[in-house]
Amino acid sequence: MGFATKAIHVGQEPDPLTGSVTVPLYQTSTFAQEAIGKHKGYEYARTQNPTRSAWERNMAALEDGTDAISFASGMAAIDAIARLFDAGDHVLLAEDMYGGTFRLFDTVLSRHGLRFDTVDMRDLDAVRRALRLDTKLLLTETPTNPLMTISDIAALAEIAHSSGALLAVDNTFASPYFQRPLQLGADIVVHSATKYLGGHSDLVHGVVVVRSEELAERLHFIQNAVGAVPGPFDCWLLLRSVKTLALRMEQHQRNALAIAQLCSSHPAVERVYYPGLPSHPQHELAARQMSGFSGMVSIELGSRQKADRFIAGLRIVTLAESLGGVESLVCHPATMTHASIPEEVRLARGITDGLVRLSIGIEDSADLVEDVRDALDNCR
Protein backbone atom coordinates (compact mmCIF):
# COMPACT_ATOMS: atom_id res chain seq x y z
CA MET A 1 0.00 0.00 0.00
CA GLY A 2 1.35 3.44 -0.88
CA PHE A 3 1.96 6.16 1.69
CA ALA A 4 -1.09 8.31 0.92
CA THR A 5 -3.39 5.26 0.91
CA LYS A 6 -2.04 4.16 4.30
CA ALA A 7 -2.44 7.68 5.67
CA ILE A 8 -6.10 7.71 4.67
CA HIS A 9 -7.08 4.15 5.52
CA VAL A 10 -4.95 2.40 8.16
CA GLY A 11 -6.65 2.55 11.55
CA GLN A 12 -9.46 4.49 9.87
CA GLU A 13 -11.76 1.72 8.65
CA PRO A 14 -15.47 2.67 8.77
CA ASP A 15 -16.89 2.32 12.27
CA PRO A 16 -18.42 -1.20 12.59
CA LEU A 17 -21.26 0.06 14.80
CA THR A 18 -22.60 2.88 12.60
CA GLY A 19 -20.63 2.90 9.37
CA SER A 20 -19.21 6.33 10.23
CA VAL A 21 -16.50 6.97 7.65
CA THR A 22 -14.40 9.00 10.06
CA VAL A 23 -13.14 7.46 13.27
CA PRO A 24 -15.52 8.55 16.07
CA LEU A 25 -14.22 10.89 18.75
CA TYR A 26 -14.45 8.90 21.99
CA GLN A 27 -14.51 11.88 24.32
CA THR A 28 -14.81 9.82 27.46
CA SER A 29 -12.72 9.11 30.52
CA THR A 30 -14.13 5.68 31.28
CA PHE A 31 -16.02 2.72 29.80
CA ALA A 32 -18.96 0.76 31.22
CA GLN A 33 -18.15 -2.82 32.17
CA GLU A 34 -20.73 -5.62 31.92
CA ALA A 35 -19.53 -7.42 35.02
CA ILE A 36 -16.39 -7.38 37.15
CA GLY A 37 -13.48 -7.97 34.77
CA LYS A 38 -15.81 -8.20 31.74
CA HIS A 39 -15.38 -5.32 29.27
CA LYS A 40 -14.80 -4.59 25.59
CA GLY A 41 -11.05 -4.04 25.93
CA TYR A 42 -11.36 -0.48 27.22
CA GLU A 43 -11.39 0.33 30.93
CA TYR A 44 -10.02 3.81 31.57
CA ALA A 45 -8.97 6.44 29.05
CA ARG A 46 -5.44 6.98 30.38
CA THR A 47 -4.78 3.32 29.60
CA GLN A 48 -6.63 3.02 26.28
CA ASN A 49 -8.90 5.16 24.12
CA PRO A 50 -10.25 3.95 20.76
CA THR A 51 -9.57 7.26 18.98
CA ARG A 52 -6.01 7.23 20.29
CA SER A 53 -5.56 3.57 19.28
CA ALA A 54 -6.72 4.38 15.72
CA TRP A 55 -4.19 7.20 15.48
CA GLU A 56 -1.42 4.99 16.89
CA ARG A 57 -2.19 2.25 14.36
CA ASN A 58 -2.05 4.83 11.58
CA MET A 59 1.29 6.25 12.72
CA ALA A 60 2.83 2.79 13.12
CA ALA A 61 1.93 2.09 9.48
CA LEU A 62 3.31 5.42 8.23
CA GLU A 63 6.69 4.87 9.90
CA ASP A 64 6.83 1.15 8.98
CA GLY A 65 6.83 0.22 12.66
CA THR A 66 4.95 -2.40 14.63
CA ASP A 67 3.41 0.01 17.10
CA ALA A 68 3.11 3.68 18.02
CA ILE A 69 2.68 5.21 21.45
CA SER A 70 1.35 8.76 21.66
CA PHE A 71 1.84 11.50 24.23
CA ALA A 72 0.63 14.93 25.24
CA SER A 73 3.61 16.64 23.55
CA GLY A 74 6.82 15.93 21.68
CA MET A 75 8.75 16.54 24.91
CA ALA A 76 6.61 14.00 26.80
CA ALA A 77 7.39 11.51 24.01
CA ILE A 78 11.15 12.10 24.31
CA ASP A 79 10.88 11.88 28.10
CA ALA A 80 9.11 8.51 27.75
CA ILE A 81 12.01 7.21 25.62
CA ALA A 82 14.47 8.33 28.31
CA ARG A 83 12.41 6.49 30.94
CA LEU A 84 13.29 3.19 29.24
CA PHE A 85 16.70 3.58 30.92
CA ASP A 86 18.01 3.53 34.48
CA ALA A 87 19.90 5.94 36.70
CA GLY A 88 23.58 5.61 35.79
CA ASP A 89 22.91 4.77 32.14
CA HIS A 90 24.57 6.97 29.56
CA VAL A 91 22.95 8.64 26.52
CA LEU A 92 24.65 10.25 23.52
CA LEU A 93 22.73 13.24 22.21
CA ALA A 94 23.25 15.05 18.93
CA GLU A 95 25.07 18.32 19.54
CA ASP A 96 22.75 20.23 17.24
CA MET A 97 19.20 19.44 18.40
CA TYR A 98 16.02 21.15 19.43
CA GLY A 99 16.91 23.21 22.51
CA GLY A 100 14.12 21.67 24.59
CA THR A 101 15.58 18.19 24.14
CA PHE A 102 18.95 19.37 25.43
CA ARG A 103 17.21 21.15 28.32
CA LEU A 104 15.27 18.00 29.28
CA PHE A 105 18.48 15.97 29.61
CA ASP A 106 20.55 18.80 31.07
CA THR A 107 18.20 20.11 33.73
CA VAL A 108 15.70 17.32 34.48
CA LEU A 109 16.87 13.83 33.56
CA SER A 110 20.44 14.38 34.80
CA ARG A 111 18.99 15.10 38.26
CA HIS A 112 17.48 11.63 38.13
CA GLY A 113 20.80 9.98 37.41
CA LEU A 114 20.72 9.69 33.61
CA ARG A 115 24.09 10.76 32.26
CA PHE A 116 24.63 12.21 28.81
CA ASP A 117 27.15 13.73 26.45
CA THR A 118 26.60 15.62 23.26
CA VAL A 119 28.43 14.76 20.07
CA ASP A 120 28.48 15.93 16.47
CA MET A 121 26.46 13.09 14.93
CA ARG A 122 27.85 13.96 11.47
CA ASP A 123 31.26 12.81 12.62
CA LEU A 124 31.02 9.01 12.92
CA ASP A 125 34.51 8.68 14.43
CA ALA A 126 33.59 11.20 17.10
CA VAL A 127 30.45 9.17 17.83
CA ARG A 128 32.52 5.97 18.17
CA ARG A 129 34.94 7.78 20.51
CA ALA A 130 32.10 9.16 22.63
CA LEU A 131 30.52 5.73 23.20
CA ARG A 132 30.98 4.32 26.69
CA LEU A 133 30.44 0.86 28.07
CA ASP A 134 27.26 2.10 29.74
CA THR A 135 25.92 3.98 26.68
CA LYS A 136 22.38 2.69 26.14
CA LEU A 137 20.95 5.18 23.69
CA LEU A 138 22.01 7.40 20.79
CA LEU A 139 19.44 10.12 20.17
CA THR A 140 19.77 12.14 17.01
CA GLU A 141 17.68 14.53 15.00
CA THR A 142 17.92 14.74 11.23
CA PRO A 143 17.59 17.23 9.65
CA THR A 144 18.36 19.21 12.80
CA ASN A 145 16.65 22.20 14.23
CA PRO A 146 17.71 24.85 13.17
CA LEU A 147 20.92 24.16 11.20
CA MET A 148 19.58 21.36 8.96
CA THR A 149 22.55 19.08 9.56
CA ILE A 150 22.03 15.51 8.47
CA SER A 151 23.13 12.40 10.34
CA ASP A 152 23.67 9.09 8.61
CA ILE A 153 20.93 6.95 10.16
CA ALA A 154 22.13 3.60 8.80
CA ALA A 155 25.72 4.21 9.95
CA LEU A 156 24.60 5.40 13.40
CA ALA A 157 22.36 2.34 13.79
CA GLU A 158 25.32 0.11 13.06
CA ILE A 159 27.51 1.93 15.57
CA ALA A 160 24.79 1.86 18.24
CA HIS A 161 24.03 -1.82 17.73
CA SER A 162 27.68 -2.86 17.69
CA SER A 163 27.93 -1.62 21.28
CA GLY A 164 24.53 -2.86 22.43
CA ALA A 165 22.83 0.56 22.39
CA LEU A 166 19.60 1.66 20.71
CA LEU A 167 19.28 4.39 18.10
CA ALA A 168 16.38 6.85 18.37
CA VAL A 169 15.74 9.42 15.64
CA ASP A 170 13.69 12.59 15.98
CA ASN A 171 12.00 12.64 12.57
CA THR A 172 9.98 15.82 13.15
CA PHE A 173 11.58 17.89 10.37
CA ALA A 174 11.33 15.29 7.61
CA SER A 175 8.01 13.62 8.56
CA PRO A 176 7.51 9.95 7.61
CA TYR A 177 6.56 11.11 4.13
CA PHE A 178 10.19 12.01 3.35
CA GLN A 179 12.15 9.78 5.74
CA ARG A 180 11.57 6.48 7.52
CA PRO A 181 14.35 5.86 10.05
CA LEU A 182 13.14 2.40 11.10
CA GLN A 183 13.72 1.17 7.55
CA LEU A 184 17.28 2.48 7.80
CA GLY A 185 17.99 0.54 11.00
CA ALA A 186 16.87 2.87 13.81
CA ASP A 187 15.04 1.30 16.74
CA ILE A 188 12.87 4.23 17.77
CA VAL A 189 11.37 7.19 15.90
CA VAL A 190 9.96 10.18 17.71
CA HIS A 191 7.94 13.14 16.45
CA SER A 192 6.73 16.39 17.74
CA ALA A 193 3.38 15.78 16.02
CA THR A 194 2.66 19.42 16.83
CA LYS A 195 4.54 20.09 13.58
CA TYR A 196 4.00 18.45 10.14
CA LEU A 197 1.84 15.56 11.37
CA GLY A 198 -0.68 17.96 12.92
CA GLY A 199 0.13 20.44 10.19
CA HIS A 200 -2.37 23.17 11.08
CA SER A 201 -0.80 24.78 14.18
CA ASP A 202 -3.78 23.81 16.28
CA LEU A 203 -2.51 21.13 18.66
CA VAL A 204 0.48 19.94 20.72
CA HIS A 205 1.26 16.23 20.56
CA GLY A 206 4.10 13.69 20.49
CA VAL A 207 4.40 10.18 19.15
CA VAL A 208 6.98 7.40 19.37
CA VAL A 209 7.11 4.55 16.82
CA VAL A 210 9.07 1.32 17.33
CA ARG A 211 9.82 -1.87 15.48
CA SER A 212 10.20 -4.23 18.42
CA GLU A 213 7.16 -5.47 20.29
CA GLU A 214 9.17 -5.57 23.48
CA LEU A 215 9.93 -1.83 23.25
CA ALA A 216 6.29 -1.13 22.36
CA GLU A 217 5.10 -2.96 25.45
CA ARG A 218 7.53 -1.08 27.71
CA LEU A 219 6.54 2.28 26.20
CA HIS A 220 2.82 1.57 26.54
CA PHE A 221 3.52 0.72 30.17
CA ILE A 222 5.32 4.08 30.64
CA GLN A 223 2.51 5.88 28.77
CA ASN A 224 -0.04 4.54 31.24
CA ALA A 225 2.11 4.60 34.38
CA VAL A 226 3.42 8.16 33.91
CA GLY A 227 0.21 9.39 32.30
CA ALA A 228 1.37 12.09 29.87
CA VAL A 229 -1.36 10.99 27.47
CA PRO A 230 -2.95 13.06 24.71
CA GLY A 231 -6.64 13.90 24.76
CA PRO A 232 -8.84 12.02 22.27
CA PHE A 233 -9.75 15.20 20.38
CA ASP A 234 -6.10 15.85 19.51
CA CYS A 235 -5.84 12.25 18.24
CA TRP A 236 -8.99 12.81 16.16
CA LEU A 237 -7.54 16.02 14.70
CA LEU A 238 -4.33 14.15 13.88
CA LEU A 239 -6.25 11.41 12.07
CA ARG A 240 -7.85 14.11 9.94
CA SER A 241 -4.58 15.99 9.37
CA VAL A 242 -2.54 13.00 8.38
CA LYS A 243 -4.86 12.24 5.47
CA THR A 244 -3.38 15.23 3.65
CA LEU A 245 0.21 14.79 4.84
CA ALA A 246 1.47 13.58 1.43
CA LEU A 247 -0.07 16.53 -0.41
CA ARG A 248 1.07 19.04 2.17
CA MET A 249 4.66 17.77 2.28
CA GLU A 250 4.98 18.03 -1.50
CA GLN A 251 3.88 21.66 -1.43
CA HIS A 252 6.03 22.49 1.64
CA GLN A 253 9.01 21.13 -0.24
CA ARG A 254 8.21 22.90 -3.51
CA ASN A 255 7.87 26.25 -1.75
CA ALA A 256 10.94 25.69 0.47
CA LEU A 257 13.11 24.99 -2.55
CA ALA A 258 11.91 28.18 -4.22
CA ILE A 259 12.73 30.18 -1.06
CA ALA A 260 16.11 28.46 -0.59
CA GLN A 261 17.03 29.27 -4.21
CA LEU A 262 15.94 32.88 -3.81
CA CYS A 263 17.98 33.25 -0.61
CA SER A 264 21.06 31.64 -2.20
CA SER A 265 21.20 34.36 -4.82
CA HIS A 266 20.22 37.31 -2.61
CA PRO A 267 23.10 39.56 -1.47
CA ALA A 268 21.58 40.09 2.00
CA VAL A 269 21.98 36.39 2.83
CA GLU A 270 25.37 35.14 4.00
CA ARG A 271 24.46 31.48 4.16
CA VAL A 272 21.48 29.24 3.41
CA TYR A 273 20.81 26.00 5.27
CA TYR A 274 18.58 23.72 3.18
CA PRO A 275 19.46 20.05 2.53
CA GLY A 276 17.77 20.18 -0.88
CA LEU A 277 20.39 22.56 -2.28
CA PRO A 278 23.40 20.89 -3.93
CA SER A 279 25.54 23.41 -1.99
CA HIS A 280 24.45 21.88 1.34
CA PRO A 281 27.54 20.00 2.62
CA GLN A 282 25.50 16.84 3.19
CA HIS A 283 23.19 17.07 0.21
CA GLU A 284 24.26 13.65 -1.09
CA LEU A 285 23.58 11.91 2.21
CA ALA A 286 20.23 13.68 2.50
CA ALA A 287 19.30 12.57 -1.02
CA ARG A 288 20.30 9.00 -0.16
CA GLN A 289 18.27 8.60 3.02
CA MET A 290 15.37 10.98 2.37
CA SER A 291 12.91 10.96 -0.51
CA GLY A 292 12.54 14.76 -0.28
CA PHE A 293 13.95 17.69 1.69
CA SER A 294 10.93 19.03 3.53
CA GLY A 295 9.97 22.62 4.21
CA MET A 296 12.47 24.11 6.66
CA VAL A 297 15.04 26.70 5.57
CA SER A 298 17.42 28.65 7.81
CA ILE A 299 19.37 31.70 6.69
CA GLU A 300 22.30 33.59 8.16
CA LEU A 301 21.88 37.34 7.84
CA GLY A 302 25.02 38.34 9.74
CA SER A 303 23.61 40.32 12.66
CA ARG A 304 20.69 40.69 15.04
CA GLN A 305 19.92 44.07 13.49
CA LYS A 306 19.51 42.52 10.03
CA ALA A 307 17.43 39.68 11.46
CA ASP A 308 15.14 42.26 13.10
CA ARG A 309 14.80 44.20 9.85
CA PHE A 310 14.11 41.05 7.81
CA ILE A 311 11.41 39.86 10.20
CA ALA A 312 9.82 43.32 10.37
CA GLY A 313 9.64 43.38 6.55
CA LEU A 314 7.64 40.14 6.23
CA ARG A 315 3.90 40.50 5.59
CA ILE A 316 2.70 36.94 4.93
CA VAL A 317 5.23 35.00 6.98
CA THR A 318 4.34 35.28 10.67
CA LEU A 319 6.81 35.60 13.55
CA ALA A 320 6.03 32.68 15.86
CA GLU A 321 7.54 29.62 17.52
CA SER A 322 6.81 26.19 16.04
CA LEU A 323 6.86 24.93 12.47
CA GLY A 324 5.30 22.50 10.04
CA GLY A 325 1.90 24.19 9.73
CA VAL A 326 0.17 25.19 6.52
CA GLU A 327 1.05 28.84 7.21
CA SER A 328 4.63 30.08 6.84
CA LEU A 329 6.35 31.06 10.07
CA VAL A 330 9.65 32.71 10.89
CA CYS A 331 11.57 32.38 14.12
CA HIS A 332 14.77 33.69 15.66
CA PRO A 333 16.30 30.55 17.22
CA ALA A 334 18.81 32.38 19.45
CA THR A 335 16.06 34.13 21.42
CA MET A 336 13.16 31.74 20.84
CA THR A 337 13.48 27.97 20.29
CA HIS A 338 17.12 27.75 21.41
CA ALA A 339 17.16 30.37 24.17
CA SER A 340 17.60 27.61 26.77
CA ILE A 341 21.08 26.77 25.40
CA PRO A 342 23.97 28.65 27.10
CA GLU A 343 25.13 31.49 24.83
CA GLU A 344 28.69 30.26 24.30
CA VAL A 345 27.45 26.76 23.40
CA ARG A 346 24.83 28.20 21.06
CA LEU A 347 27.31 30.46 19.27
CA ALA A 348 29.89 27.68 18.96
CA ARG A 349 27.24 25.61 17.17
CA GLY A 350 26.44 28.35 14.68
CA ILE A 351 23.14 29.47 16.19
CA THR A 352 24.10 33.11 15.90
CA ASP A 353 22.12 36.27 16.50
CA GLY A 354 21.79 36.69 12.73
CA LEU A 355 20.29 33.24 12.14
CA VAL A 356 16.65 33.13 11.11
CA ARG A 357 14.59 29.95 10.62
CA LEU A 358 11.73 29.79 8.15
CA SER A 359 9.01 27.16 8.24
CA ILE A 360 7.73 27.37 4.70
CA GLY A 361 4.00 26.76 4.46
CA ILE A 362 1.78 25.74 1.59
CA GLU A 363 0.66 29.18 0.41
CA ASP A 364 1.09 30.15 -3.26
CA SER A 365 4.76 29.99 -4.07
CA ALA A 366 4.82 33.34 -5.88
CA ASP A 367 3.36 35.14 -2.84
CA LEU A 368 5.96 33.67 -0.52
CA VAL A 369 8.84 34.44 -2.87
CA GLU A 370 7.68 38.04 -3.16
CA ASP A 371 7.27 38.39 0.61
CA VAL A 372 10.71 36.99 1.42
CA ARG A 373 12.39 38.97 -1.40
CA ASP A 374 10.89 42.25 -0.19
CA ALA A 375 11.93 41.52 3.39
CA LEU A 376 15.48 40.66 2.30
CA ASP A 377 15.67 43.87 0.25
CA ASN A 378 14.55 45.65 3.43
CA CYS A 379 17.44 44.34 5.52
CA ARG A 380 20.40 45.15 3.28
Ligand X SMILES: Cc1ncc(COP(=O)(O)O)c(C=O)c1O
Residues of the shown chain interacting with ligand X in the complex, contacts defined by CB under 6 A:
73-75, 98, 100-101, 141, 145, 170, 172, 192, 194, 204, 206
Least gap, CB of 57 to ligand X (angstroms):
21
Return the closest-CA partner of residue 207 out of 325, 96, 94, 53.
53
Least gap, CB of 168 to ligand X (angstroms):
11
Nearer to ligand X, 98 or 105 (CB): 98
Burial of 183 (0-12, 13-18, 19+ CB in 10 A): middle
Q: Which residue is nearest to ligand X (CB)?
A: 74
Nearer to ligand X, 198 or 292 (CB): 198
Orientation angle between helical segments 213-226 and 74-82, nearest 10 degrees: 110
Nearer to ligand X, 51 or 73 (CB): 73
| Catalytic-residue membership of 243 | no
Nearer to ligand X, 44 or 233 (CB): 233
* 3-class DSSP assignment, residue 357: strand
**Residues 6 or more apart whose Cβ sits within 8 Å of residue 192:** 73, 74, 75, 77, 98, 170, 172, 205, 206
- From the candidates 6, 195, 346, 349, give the one annotated as an active-site residue: 195
Euclidean distance between CA atoms 187 and 185, whole angstroms:
6
Return the closest-CA partner of residue 187 out of 233, 137, 254.
137
User: What are residue 356's DSSP bridge partners?
Assistant: 299
Least gap, CB of 173 to ligand X (angstroms):
6
User: What letter would DSSP give residue 186?
Assistant: -
Least gap, CB of 90 to ligand X (angstroms):
21
Return the closest-CA partner of residue 143 out of 172, 100, 180, 181.
172
Euclidean distance between CA atoms 157 and 150, whole angstroms:
14
Euclidean distance between CA atoms 194 and 182, whole angstroms:
21
Least gap, CB of 234 to ligand X (angstroms):
11
Least gap, CB of 363 to ligand X (angstroms):
21
- From the candidates 26, 98, 196, 273, give the one annotated as an active-site residue: 98
Asked if 124 and 79 count as a contact pair (C-beta separation under 8 A), the reply is no
| Catalytic-residue membership of 98 | yes
| Catalytic-residue membership of 46 | yes
- From the candidates 79, 89, 170, 234, give the one annotated as an active-site residue: 170
> Could you give the strand order of the β-sheet that contains 135-141, starting from the edge strand earlier in sequence?
67-71, 206-210, 188-192, 166-170, 135-141, 90-94, 115-119
Nearer to ligand X, 73 or 289 (CB): 73
Phi-psi region of 199 (alpha: psi -120 to 50; beta: other; left: phi over 0): left
- From the candidates 15, 42, 46, 120, give the one annotated as an active-site residue: 46
CA 28, 4, 183, 117 dihedral sign is: negative
Among all residues, which ones are annotated catalytic? 46, 98, 170, 195
